[in-house]
Amino acid sequence: MSDPQSTPAPLPGDRPGQTPAGQQAGTVQPFPAAGNISDAEREELRRHGILLTSLEELYNWGRTNSIWPLQFGLACCAIEMIAAATARFDIARFGAEIFRPSPRQADLMIVSGTVTKKMAPQVVRLWNQMPEPKYCIAMGACAISGGPFKQGYNVLKGIDRFIPVDIYIPGCPPRPEALLNGLMELQKQIRAETLSGPAQGRHLRPEMPSEFPVPEYGAHDLQPPKNPEVWKPTAPLSRPTKA
Amino acid sequence: MSVSDLSSFTPASGPTVRAVKDPFHGDLLEVSMGPQHPSTHGVFRMVVTLDGEIVVKLKPVFGYLHRNHEKIAENTSYLGSMPYTDRLDYLCSMSTNWAYALAVEKLSGQAVPDRAQYLRVILAELTRLVNHSCLVGFLFNDLGTSFTPLLYAFREREKILDLFESLSGSRMMCNFQRFGGCRVDPSPEWLAAASQLVNNFPRFLDEYEMMLTGNEIMLARTQGIGVLDAKKAVNAGLTGPVLRASGYNYDIRKVDGYGFYPRFDFRVPLGAHGDTYDRYMMRVLEMRESVKILQQAFRDLPAGPVMDPKAKIRGFRPKPGEAYGRIESPKGELGFYLISDGSPNPYRYRVRPPSLINLTLLEEMCLGHTIADSVVILGSIDIVLGEVDR
C-alpha cells in the first residue's frame, strides 16, 4: 500500500461520483485499482466472467462477513442474543455465528445487558484484551444508558462512558431481529471503512487508542466514574424558557 | 517488538490463577472462573481451588448483576415495580409477575376472578415449559454438546414466546399480571393456538428424551455426580426441582395450594439419588406434568372477567401491614415480602430468590468432583443471575 501522505487522498468507494473535493476528475488514481470503472462496467465485466475488485473491497468483504462476537452475556439481553443465534433468527446468515469465549479471538463485543459498577472493570478489560479491528454493539437500554435501572446506585449509566460504541440498539430487551439489524448496520460501517484517507478504519490510525484505562471499583463509585476521552455527550436540549 | 518491551505490561488486579499451599493437600491451584465464562450462566464467578483436576474448595462470588431491584421498588409505586419483576428472572417473567401480584393481593385483600386464576395457571405452566426446556438445553451445552440440544429447546421456546407476544405485546418482559387479575383477556383464537401447542408438546418431549435421556455420555457425566443429601438440602432452605431431586416432597403448588392449583390433578415427581441426572429428570418429568395441568386448564377455563371490577389501579394505597406471597416458580420458592406503611410505595420490598438460595450448596455438591463436573452441577441447579444478584 502506498503512503497515504504522498498521494492525493483517494476515497475508496471507487465510484467517479464520490471523488473527494479538491481532486480533479480524470486524473489516474494510484489506488484503488478499479477506481475509474463504473458499476455498470464492472457488472458488464462480471457477466463475462471477469471479477474486478480492489484490495480494499476484498479486505472489507472478508471482514464484514466473518464478524465473530465475544460469547459474553450480561443480563436479560443475553437470552435474546442466544435466541438470535438459534435456528429461527440464525445469525449465521450474516457470518457472525461463531461466538468465541476468548476475547483474543473475537472481533465484536455485544454488551448485552446491564453493566453494573462491579462488572464495568471486567467489561473494559475484556475490550482491552480484544485485538484490533474490534467493534462494540451496545445492546439494550441498560447498556446504552442504564435503562430502567438507571437510578440504581450500582448501575453504570451506559458502557459508552468507558469504551467507544459503534452501534446502539434500543429496546428492553431488543428483539433478535433488532440485533440482526444492528449487525447489518455494523457491516455497513465496516464496508465504508477505507485503507487510507479520511474514512480510514479506526484500527489503522496509530493515534486512535485501542486500549482504555480500566476503572477501579471504588468505595462510592467507579474511579474514575467516566473516561472523558471516550464519553463526549452532546449538550442537552435546552427547554424553551417561559415568556 | 522485542521481549524487553513487554515489561510495561501490568497484570490485572487480583490474580485469576495462583498457586496456594494447603497443609492437607500440598500444592494447589486457585482458579477464578468467571465473571466472563461461557458456562457460568451469566456473570457468576467461582473461585475454585484445585488439587490436580479435583475441586477441594469452591467459593461463589455474587453481585456482578446487582441492579438494586429492591431499593428501586421501595421508591416506586406498587404497580410501577411490576415491570421490574419481569427482569428479575428474565426467563420466566409470567410467573415472577404472579408472585408479586400474589403478595400485593394478600397485602390489600384483593380478590381475583376465576378466569384470571385459570389464566395465571396457564401462563405460569407455559413459563415452566419454557424455562425447563431451555435449562435442559443449557445443561447439555455445559456437558459439551455444543448448541444442538439448545437449538431444539429454543425452537419450542419461540413458539411459546409467540403466544406471550400476541397476548401481552412483549416476548420476554410480559408485564401481564395486575393486582386483581390479568391485563388482557385472551381471544378464543389465542386459546385454541395455545391448546394446540400444548397438545403437541409431548411429541417434542419424546423427541428430546429420545436424543438425550439414554445417551451414554450423558449417563456417564451425570449419574452419581453432585449428589445432594435431602437433609442438607432442607437445612439450607433449598426448594424446587433441586430439592425434589433429592427425594424430599415439597412443592408449594401442593403445600400452599395458591391460585387454583388444588383444582388440578397432577403429580409431583421425586428423585431418588439427588445427583445431576435426577435433577435433569425432574425437569423432564415436570414438563410432562405441566402439560397435564395445562390441558385441564384449557378444558375448565370459565367465562367471565379477567380483572376484578372493584380493583383500584390509580391511587393504590394498601393499608399498613405486611404480607408474604410465594409461588412455585420453575426454579423453586419465589417469594415477595412487602411491608406497607399506607403510602403509595412499599416501605420494604424483599425478594426471596430461589436461584440464590439453591446456589448456597454448590460447594457441597462440587467437592471431590472434577472442575468439568462443577460446570455441569452448576448448570443442573438452574440459576438466573438477574434473580441471584437482583
B75 contacts A116? CB cut-off 8 A: no
Is the CB of A119 less than 8 angstroms away from the CB of B43? Answer: yes
B-chain residues within 8 Å CB-CB of A116?
A: 63-67
pLDDT of A10 above 60: no
Mean per-residue pLDDT, A140-158: 89
Helix (H, G, I), strand (E, B) or coil at A233: coil
Helix or strand (DSSP H, E) at B338:
strand B332-340
Q: Using beta carbons and an 8 Å cutoff, which residues of B are at the interface with A?
A: 12-13, 35-38, 42-43, 63-68, 71-72, 75, 83-84, 87, 90-91, 147, 150-151, 154-155, 157-158, 171-173, 385-386
Q: Which residues contact A156 (CB under 8 A, 6 or more apart)?
A: A115, A116, A117, A119, A120, A146, A162, A222
> By 3-state DSSP, what share of chain A in percent is helix, strand and coil, each rounded to 5?
35, 10, 55
| Cα–Cα distance for residue pair B135/B274, rounded to 1 Å | 17
Nearest to B35 among A103, A119, A214 (CB): A119
- Is residue A129 less than 8 Å (CB to CB) from chain B? no
- Locate the chain B residue with the closest alpha carbon to A101: B38
A2 touches chain B (CB under 8 A): no
| Element containing residue B26 per DSSP (H, E) | strand B26-33
Question: What type of residue is B100?
Answer: Y
pLDDT in tens, A214-234: 888 878 888 888 888 888 887
Q: Look at A114 and B67 and tell me if their CB atoms are within 8 Å.
A: yes
Residue A28 has pLDDT above 70, yes or no: no
Cross-chain Cβ contact A118/B386 below 8 Å: no
Close Cβ partners of B135 (under 8 Å, ≥ 6 residues apart): B283, B330, B379, B382
DSSP A101: S
Cell of B43: 456473570
What phi and psi values does residue B141 have, to the nearest 5 degrees?
-60, -45
Beta-bridge mates of residue A108: A69, A135
Closest listed residue to residue B153, CA positions, set B124, B129, B125, B122: B129
Of the candidates A74, A88, A149, the beta carbon closest to that of B72 is on A149
Q: List the single residue in A with minimal CA-CA distance to B165.
A: A175
E-strand spans in chain A? 108-112, 135-139, 167-169, 216-217, 222-223
Identity of the amino acid at B365: M
Report CB contact under 8 Å: B65, A113.
yes
Question: Taking CA B46 as the corner, what is the angle to CA B45 and CA B50, rounded to the nearest 5 degrees?
Answer: 150
Distance to chain B for A75, nearest Cα, Å: 7
- How is residue B145 written as a grid cell? 454438546
Residue A55: pLDDT band (50, 70, 90) is confident
Banded pLDDT at A35 (limits 50, 70, 90): low
Of the residues B43, B76, B151, the best mutation for testing chain A's interface (the one with the most A CB atoms within 10 Å of its CB) is B43
Give 10-residue mean pLDDT values along chain B (390 residues): 38 58 75 80 85 86 88 90 90 91 90 91 93 90 85 91 91 89 90 93 90 87 89 91 91 88 91 90 92 92 88 84 92 92 90 91 89 90 88
Contact assignment for A87 to B38 by CB distance below 8 Å: no
Question: Which of B39, B65, B151 is best to mutate for the A interface (most A CBs within 10 A)?
Answer: B65
- For position B197, what pLDDT does the model report? 92
The one-letter amino acid at A189: Q
CA–CA gap between residue A85 and residue A71 (Å, rounded): 11
State the distance between the two ends of chain A, measured CA to CA, in whole angstroms: 61
| Mean pLDDT score across all residues of chain A | 81
**ipTM score assigned to the predicted complex:** 0.85
Amino acid letter for position B368 = G
Q: Which residues from chain A sit within 8 angstroms of residue B42, using beta carbons?
A: 73-75, 78
Question: Are residues B293 and B300 in contact, defined by beta-carbon separation less than 8 angstroms?
Answer: no
Q: What pLDDT is attached to residue B15?
A: 53
Q: What is the pLDDT of residue A124?
A: 92
* Distance between A52 CA and the closest CA of chain B, angstroms: 37
Residue A100's φ and ψ, nearest 5 degrees, are -95, 130
B67 → closest Cβ in A73, A88, A155: A155
Contact A151 B75 (CB under 8 A): yes
Answer yes or no: do B42 and A151 touch at CB < 8 A.
Answer: no
Q: Which residue of A has its CA nearest to B87?
A: A76
Nearest residue of chain B to residue A99 (CA atoms):
B38
Output the pLDDT for position B314.
78
Query: Are B66 and A173 a contacting pair at CB < 8 A?
Result: no
Q: What is the pLDDT of residue A167?
A: 92
Least confident piece of the model among A27-31, A56-60, B77-81? A27-31
**Chain B residue numbers touching A71 (CB-CB < 8 A):** 38
In the prediction, which pLDDT does A180 show? 93
Say what percent of chain A tops pLDDT 70.
85
Task: Report the alpha-carbon distance of residue B298 to residue B242 in Å, rounded.
Answer: 29
Contacts of A148 in chain B (CB under 8 A): 83-84, 87
Residues A142, A186: Cα–Cα separation, whole Å: 20
Tell me the three state secondary structure of residue B109.
coil
pLDDT at A53: 80
Contacts of B378 (CB under 8 A, 6+ apart): B39, B40, B41, B44, B46, B142, B362, B366
